[in-house]
Structure 1
Amino acid sequence: MKTFHCGSLVPGCEWHTRAESEAEIVSRAIDHLRQTHGETTIRPSIVEQIKERTLEETDAA
């Protein structure tokens, strides 16, 4: 399972998401940036930053 915290990209934002694939994380993060942060243009560099900040969750059990 992968996770992304928007606050790692937009300081102060507490939104986060979890998904099985990096593609789903990127899709959800882009939707969030558009709806919540008013981004109208998503540059390739933003997509790369989302990917760089997407973490693989480890089992805590």
Structure 2
Amino acid sequence: MKTFHCGSLVPGCDWHTRADSEAEIVSRTIDHLRETHGETIIRPSIVEQIKARMSDQENAA
């Protein structure tokens, strides 16, 4: 399971997500950036920053 916290990219944002795949995290985060932060252009560098800030989380039992 991977997790991403938007506050690591946009200081002060409490939004976070988790999913099994990196692609799903990127997709959800891009949607969040567009809807919440008003981003209209998502550059490849932003996608790379999202990927770099993801972390692995062990599945809870």
Task: Please say whether Structure 1 and Structure 2 have the same fold, judged by a TM-score greater than 0.5.
Answer: yes
Q: TM-score range by the shorter chain?
A: over 0.9
**How far is 1:60 from its partner?**
6.5
Shift >4 Å, 4+ stretches: none
TM-score by length of 1: 0.95
Distance 1:16 1:59 in 2: 16
Distance 2:5 2:54 in 1: 8
Paired residue type of 2:50: I
Give the unaligned 5+ runs of structure 1: none
TM-score by length of 2: 0.95
Give the unaligned 5+ runs of structure 2: none
Q: Which moved more, 1:50-59 or 1:6-15?
A: 50-59
Distance 1:35 1:59 in 2: 29
Secondary structure in structure 1 of the residue aligned to 2:17: strand
Q: Partner residue of 1:9?
A: 9
The number of residues matched between the two structures is: 61
Identity across the alignment (%): 80
